Amino acid sequence: MYELFFKKFNEKVLLTTEEQDLVQQYLAPKKLRKKQYLLQEGDICKNICFVEKGALKAYVLDDTGEEHITAFALEGWTMGDLASFMKQEPATLNIDALEDCELILISKQAHDELLERLPKYQIYIRMLMTDAYMALQKRTTNMISLSLDDRYFALTQMYPNIVQRVPQHMIASFMGLSPETLSRIRSRSGTKR
Amino acid sequence: MYELFFKKFNEKVLLTTEEQDLVQQYLAPKKLRKKQYLLQEGDICKNICFVEKGALKAYVLDDTGEEHITAFALEGWTMGDLASFMKQEPATLNIDALEDCELILISKQAHDELLERLPKYQIYIRMLMTDAYMALQKRTTNMISLSLDDRYFALTQMYPNIVQRVPQHMIASFMGLSPETLSRIRSRSGTKR
DNA sequence: AAAAAACATTGACATAAATCAATGTTTTTC
DNA sequence: GAAAAACATTGATTTATGTCAATGTTTTTT
């Protein structure tokens, strides 16, 4: 159940067996069926969530009720409304399951205690945040500096598994485009797969 | 010279005078004249830089040689090509001074030593990264879910000092638009100031 | 296996933004 | 203080993307 979580953790900071046992006491497994919510706008994000299996999407709703996908999370990724989690204030994001999922939850309390108790957890979180920031920065930079065609190509290179696994109209939403436009980008650049 | 840096540091993690002295040994001041480079694409980002006074911009150049601004940094903000800094690989960003600046530099080596030597520095960096990530996430979400008019309005609310201090065509670049379009957004929404 | 739902593609048209160009304004430089 | 440079605005036009609608395909449900 916790294999992937600790695999990823150990890639960043190597834990002893005892430390691993300690961390595990703070984790809670959770299964989620396709289409079920992990978090709804307005609720407080009580947990940060690691995806052991399955896939999630995070999105905001605009005034017309349309979904704008802000992030995907596949196996090995961490997901949550970070602002809501850190400040324990109402979430602006919705998160739900694209597929049946096996998740690992870390509550705010568990997170705070681990930060205090285990220096390696602190290091892990710092590295996680740093990596997440660099990835988001790359995405933002592409967004303002590349043509749509290049942005889509960059996406297929950077996250081939997302592009393969997720319906196209969600990729379009993630890029901030209409599904029709993405379809035309694909047909003109022959990037079908 | 280091007032603002330690003010911001102490807001996140409170340092004793001794700790402050220790940290200070790892810092290097630097002055930069308007239009001078702090970092050029292809160089290695050797330092993370804190702005005590002045303003910086970071940008990428596209194939047509046009500037796309990815970030501004005013007093109290931290700036750098994080990916280049962390991995000590060639930078993709250019960073230069919008105004005469007083900066504080932390070299990669200093950064690594401080992380090892001073747990509070680790905490500081974790918090800095977390805050930066949340801010960028907000920006990205706005980018894909709001109309241009609303995006500009959100920007003026979130960073009024940037909008005041920076030429409009750079704000346009930061938003990924032409200067003409931003000018029209402003005239139709009466958001002149 | 059949029916329904979700999804992708394509075309016609409307709309928004980019581009090009001209003008006026503000800021910088000398 | 004058000249030059940088900047902002506005109009006309082109281009890219969104929207609406129809069709065909794939996936899910029963």
Return d(Cα B177, Cα B51) in angstroms, integer. Answer: 27
Taking the model in full, what pTM does it have? 0.94
CA gap A142, A150 in Å, rounded: 8
pLDDT of amino acid B1: 83
pLDDT digits (tens, 9 = 90+) for A8-33: 999 999 999 999 999 999 999 999 99
Beta strand spans in A46-180 (E): 47-53, 56-61, 67-73, 78-79, 94-97, 101-107
As averages over each run of 10 residues, the pLDDT of chain B (193 residues) reads: 94 96 96 93 97 96 91 96 97 95 96 96 96 96 92 95 95 96 89 41
Name the residue among A69, A126, A175 with its Cβ closest to that of B129.
Answer: A126
Question: Between the CA of A99 and the C1' of C13, what is the distance in angstroms?
Answer: 38
Residue among B60, B122, B141 whose CB faces A145 most closely: B60
Give the helix/strand (H/E) hosting B22.
helix B17-25
| pLDDT above 80 (res A191) | no
The half-sphere exposure of B170 on its side-chain side, counting CA atoms within 13 A, is 18
**CA of A171 vs chain B CAs: smallest distance (Å):** 12
The pLDDT assigned to A190 comes to: 64
Contact between chains at B136 and A134 (C-beta distance less than 8 A): no
How many angstroms away from the CA of B65 is the closest CA of chain A? 11
Q: Strand C and chain B: which residues 110-169 have CB closer than 7 Å?
A: 147-148
pLDDT tens digit sequence for A96-135: 999 999 999 999 999 999 999 999 999 999 999 999 999 9
For residue A192, the model assigns a pLDDT of 38
- Residue B132: what pLDDT? 96
A-B CB pairs within 8 A amount to 92
Chain B CB contacts of A132 below 8 Å: 133
For residue B19, give both structure tokens. Answer: 């700790």
Contacts 24+ apart (CB under 8 A), A12-16: A12/A123, A12/A124, A12/A127, A12/A128, A13/A120, A13/A123, A13/A124, A13/A127, A15/A120
pLDDT confidence of residue B63: 84
B28 membership: H or E segment, kind and range: strand B27-32
Q: Report the b/e string of B37-49 with b at 16+ CB within 10 A.
A: ebbebeeebbbbb
